[in-house]
A and B are shown apart, each in its own frame.
Chain A
């Protein structure tokens, strides 16, 4: 499914091991909310590489599972989760419901904290972390669904299992890569929860396999076409205090062709995250069969104006001609008739009207392509077009919904990520940008 699903500002309370909390949260969201089938114990088929698709601490994915079922139901406009079997304990208040339906396009598929217990068959959820915009108000709400699959999870219990290793990983598989680009294999992404940045700091390491080649090769598990691992931390210290006790806010954007993470801990008002997606292929299929791109930031703020990292200068792809990992620059449309004045550099003032058409009530913004303009002999003007980000002048309010159907959200600094037109009830980046 290419419909984006969201985890909006999941609150991670102070706990002794936020690193493990994050792993379990990703495993639940990617394995069930985005890729879940009707199995309740294991992630949906193909969510992770088929063989040795995850390597995580013992019991991390089983600890804290309080209950599960397939008889959940919700009603439109309501924040209540109900089960036919009436199996919900009052002790579950404060725990989380992971809900999904197999093959669903609904953004109800997400993770919600239980905030109130009514009876064994009905609880109130903090619906703002997921949900679907309710007609009229556009506030997140649930829709009318039956036979909802669910898992009730205590993330604190999962995080308590301990045992994080430098080699913990998940091999995310993008099963709709072939839907994006005809003939594309299900590309894969290795997310390594590394503890070795600067020797000991936690950081996420990203390695892509365009062909989705994870398996046992020459006696050990790995890819046959890996990119170099990307670890990025602008201000040192890896991804900050994830290894020790802490709290923070985590947001995910994902479908079976992309994953965007934004994580900010309350100990540091910068954020960490990454953006991996299957971009639109612009070269012939025979030359570029499996495009996939990645970008990461750590201890920083997402930017389109930093020429040496992130969207302006920190995009990476596997380069088939020489099997290297190639750095790409994001290129967007410019709107001032010259080769200067990028949209990300516009400041508030006289030209605001250029970016908001008052006659149409529409914003003017740009897509971006991946360009490698300066490697001798490897000039690539536009190899692929990003599908899951757009760029606008950073003169408009943060969290402004943009597009005819609110399909983009201005998250920060003129960067827009996919959205479902939901009106946010609170700051998405409560822990910082």
Chain B
């Protein structure tokens, strides 16, 4: 496993009125392709291989040219000649030896035509380690994608309409994992989401979803009844229109607020597992003002014996309603009222729930804490551990099949099969005390962990911008 991070990519746009939820799909996809080596299986109006988006790529970039040019990335002129048009585009890097700092998405802020260099916004107070042999690709900026994205075109008139001939943007990528699992990143059209006047207006899911599974088509779809985690597509039932809300919440995605966001991504280039977080530059005053997150892939330390089908090993966690205006927050909680949830694929061969399984008091104890039910990690007396003089972190398990509905409305509950099963350990993340600072790094010499929110910690390296 080699972990790569995108450390704090700042969206273009305006602070309080942006389209982060659209950008998030694009930025995630180009990170998966450019840094983790996902490949495109199929798409509709989401052609990231086209010249519209992909301007150039190669394997021999070098970063940090020394002197005043530590943030310069050199690419071979024989492959691509830099130009002023590249400014504001996105340079996607995969570092061969410094994946925690030199990989990820970087805004191109300038060029040097003499040396064929890009100048990038490194988004860190650290100097990049000098490195050559860096895999690189230049993608168009997210505004171009926003101008092209389609999220209204409906396909079939019945069932889940966002498939087949539907024109709303979606793409299926295949992970670099040896078991070749796939992820679908899809904008959900207004019929399926029920946002066209039906009630509840929140529809069955967030406005964009991420689905893991197998059997992606050239149109960028999984199939009804196929091996994947998208409830409405599996059951071919939009399930979010008046009179039938049963499938609400059974598809999840990455759905940050309409505020300008800073994006933080983690990915493993061997399993393809991914964690993404978007942090509003200026959080709105709301309970759910702390950004958004998505998490999918293969668990670590999987429960043995492995299930019969590889699809039954996958998971996805993220936003699952529009209830909170898309501002679903970065929290562990994933039960129906939260606007967040998770899905897996069951031994029953259909989508089932998936949750973060945390250590909490066996019963009854609350500790005067700072969130929800005041669990141990939220104790007012939480602090560094007295033995290790550091913040204590614990692994988090993924458990599937313990919830029979995912929507917050309580309509037509019990839609999901119960088949409680530990999948394994959630990749990358750990749980710890919640009173560590919002998006603050640990104080050890390597700044080796980043606390996002609610006791969610991810691996880190180096300084972070305030």
Contact = CB atoms under 8 A, between A and B. Distances in A.
Interface of A: 283-284, 287-288, 304-307, 311-313, 320-321, 329-340, 342-345, 350-360, 362, 364, 366, 368-369, 371, 373-383, 391
B365 A312 contact: yes
A339 B360 contact: yes
15 contacts: A311-B362, A329-B365, A337-B334, A337-B342, A338-B333, A339-B332, A339-B372, A345-B363, A345-B364, A351-B404, A359-B346, A359-B348, A379-B381, A379-B383, A381-B385
Interface stretch (B13-21, B105-113, B350-358): B350-358
Nearest to B420: A364
Q: Tell me what chain B mostly uses at the interface: helix, strand, loop, or mixed.
A: loop
Interface stretch (B73-81, B210-218, B386-394): B386-394
A331 B367 CA distance: 13
A340 B371 CA distance: 12
B376 interface: yes
A43 to B, nearest CB: 35
B325 to A, nearest CB: 21
B355 A307 contact: no
Contacts of B397: 333
Interface in B367-383: 367-368, 371-383
B361 interface: yes
A106 B422 CA distance: 31
Contact of B367 (A335, A336, A366, A373): A373
A283 B397 CA distance: 20
**Max chain A C-beta neighbours (<10 A), residue from B360, B371, B377:** B360
B387 A380 contact: yes
B116 interface: no
Q: How large is the interface on B (under 10, 10 to 19, 20 to 34, 35 or more residues)?
A: 35 or more
Contacts of A287: 387-388
Contacts of A336: 335, 355, 402-403
B364 A373 contact: no
A339 B418 contact: no
Contacts of B402: 335-337, 351, 354-355, 364
A334 B358 contact: yes
A415 to B, nearest CB: 10
B347 interface: yes
Nearest to A382: B394
Contacts of A369: 359, 394
**Max chain A C-beta neighbours (<10 A), residue from B353, B359, B381, B419:** B359
B341 interface: yes
B359 A331 contact: yes
B263 interface: no
B392 A380 contact: yes
A375 to B, nearest CB: 7
A362 B400 CA distance: 13
B240 interface: no
Contacts of A364: 399, 402, 420-422
B94 interface: no
A304 B362 contact: yes
Contact of A354 (B332, B361, B401): B401
Contacts of B386: 321, 377-380
Contacts of B373: 338-340
B360 A332 contact: yes
B444 interface: no
Nearest to A352: B418
B301 interface: no
Nearest to B346: A359
Given A311-B362, A359-B347, A382-B392, 6 more contacts: A344-B363, A373-B381, A379-B381, A381-B394, A382-B394, A383-B387
B69 interface: no
Nearest to B413: A350
Contact of A379 (B346, B382, B399): B382
A360 B347 contact: yes
A379 B377 CA distance: 10
A330 B376 CA distance: 11
A312 B421 contact: no
B432 interface: yes
Across the A-B interface, the 8 shortest Cβ-Cβ residue pairs: A353-B418, A307-B364, A364-B420, A359-B347, A337-B355, A354-B402, A373-B376, A337-B334
**Max chain B C-beta neighbours (<10 A), residue from A333, A339, A357, A362:** A339
Contacts of A335: 355, 357, 399, 402, 420
Nearest to A368: B362
A361 to B, nearest CB: 11
B433 interface: yes
Contacts of B353: 337
Contacts of B414: 350
A287 B355 CA distance: 33
Contacts of B356: 337
Contacts of A330: 361-362
Contacts of B379: 373-374, 379
A337 B361 contact: no
A331 B358 CA distance: 9
A381 B376 contact: yes
Contacts of A329: 361-362, 365, 376
Contacts of B380: 374
A198 B382 CA distance: 37
Contacts of B371: 339
B272 to A, nearest CB: 24
A31 B285 CA distance: 66
